[in-house]
Structure 1
């Protein structure tokens, strides 16, 4: 039996795009706006924060936002497909040309991808040689940013509802059957608790993916090669990191637009 995506490629493509653009233009900006428009002003009032602390928080929040959006957009826009036939490598029956080593054909993108890692439905793009850096850093910055946001959201919820009534909301969200025992109507604190849970969920999601893919980079393997432990090699971990994040990896870690070129041997030049 063929998978759903093979039977209905148009529906799969539309779903991927909606999911992708929903995250880029709704979820991430929504979290950023909520933090700065709701959480931040209330914490300033509750904690009587000084101007230097407010400026520091604004700078850190902006840094997280720029790196998340920047790395995600670049991972979507930068193309890692094979542009021209290669003299050596393997032959692709779909593209009808020779492709470099570690290049694989993606049936969703309908093209061969240089050093193909996997097809990410989340951003509707294959992750390969030129955009793997941005994809992994996107996950890493989401994990750090959500940890930072969760800390302040927890502080905000616990300070706003000092009677600890939000804990009851948390239990009712985890187990909806408790609503029959605790007939309190849903209120604003339920929304805040749901938002807090969403932060924790994003930490687990992004953290799991980040550590998995970063481990593969350190080991010098793609997601497909990670199935075979004998292909992993952590001895050359520095070269493995440079082969993904570039020669100026220390700049790439903190700024998505940093010029960090890949070594010539990685590009096959």
Structure 2
């Protein structure tokens, strides 16, 4: 009984986190950058119109790719039921789904279904990452990393502009060690929130870089997350096509393109 309640609680938390990230946090971050950071930097550093337009274009481009890949990863169905195909060779039988599944298809306890070429269950997307959405997940990591590095650069100058002398360093120390606030007897202000956002940029940039390097290494080697210790399979070009599809060059800049993937069970999945 307790386990069931906890499972339901974590399920609700996962869904709330997922959709709040898509519809609140990510758009909110863009609004903050465009409405607070950009005007301040324009006023202080007298940025010209051309640079302003370039900054807006790059910000919107990153935003579209971050949210687009996130949404496509969430709505893509990676369950074995999508193929409507019977697999009789080299696979095994799932006692829970009562279906013959192909190699690399695993049953997910959270999704309660077998997932084709299952990589892992992503808490942030509240979905399994598998055959049909792995490229969206990877491109999300690419663009969230680019966005965080890009915004960290500008946010550093933004938060530096509102502090004097060594004020920024002390504000960072106060956030990392709250006990310093009692010693220094300084009240919390809006500046501390700006510093928190800056540190969040740095943290997400590091986090996304680690995840991206791990998963891309697996992609080049033709492995999933729980196979990462196994030897490489096939060659790296085939491995890339099995994830990013036949139109891989467009997937790098546009998340909504249809790019059929070639699975290692020797069939092409179309009409996704």
Same fold per TM (> 0.5)? Answer: yes
Is 1:53 matched up with 2:51? yes
Describe the shift of the 1:102–1:5 C-alpha distance in structure 2 as closer, same or farther (beyond 3 A). Answer: farther
- Contact (CA 8 Å) 1:74, 1:131: kept in 2 or not? yes
1:40-88, Cα deviation, whole Å (9 max, x unpaired): 0111111111111000000000000000000000000000101233232
Task: Give the equivalent residue in structure 2 for 1:150.
Answer: 152
Describe the shift of the 1:262–1:39 C-alpha distance in structure 2 as closer, same or farther (beyond 3 A). Answer: same
CA RMSD of aligned residues (A): 1.8
What is the alpha-carbon distance in structure 1 between the residues aligned to residue 99 and residue 141 of structure 2? Answer: 34
Unaligned runs of 5+ residues in structure 1 are: none
Q: Quote the offset at 1:9 in angstroms.
A: 2.7
1:154-189, Cα deviation, whole Å (9 max, x unpaired): 011112324332221111111112123211212221
Task: Give the equivalent residue in structure 2 for 1:255.
Answer: 254
Matches within 5 A, 1:215-234: 215-226=217-228, 228-229=229-230, 231-233=231-233
Counterpart among 170, 173, 176 of residue 175 in structure 2: 173
1:183-219, Cα deviation, whole Å (9 max, x unpaired): 1212221111111011111112211111111111111
What is the alpha-carbon distance in structure 2 between the residues aligned to residue 38 and residue 171 of structure 1? Answer: 24
Normalising by structure 1, report the TM-score: 0.92
Matches within 5 A, 1:85-234: 85-88=86-89, 89-226=91-228, 228-229=229-230, 231-233=231-233
Moved more, 164-173 or 119-128: 164-173
Describe the shift of the 1:184–1:9 C-alpha distance in structure 2 as closer, same or farther (beyond 3 A). Answer: closer
Unaligned runs of 5+ residues in structure 2 are: none
What is the alpha-carbon distance in structure 2 between the residues aligned to residue 254 and residue 107 of structure 1? Answer: 33
Q: Quote the offset at 1:23 in angstroms.
A: 1.0
What is the alpha-carbon distance in structure 1 between the residues aligned to residue 264 and residue 239 of structure 2? Answer: 12
1:97-137, Cα deviation, whole Å (9 max, x unpaired): 11111111112111111001111111110110000000111
SS of residue paired to 1:52: helix
What is the alpha-carbon distance in structure 2 between the residues aligned to residue 265 and residue 118 of structure 1? Answer: 18
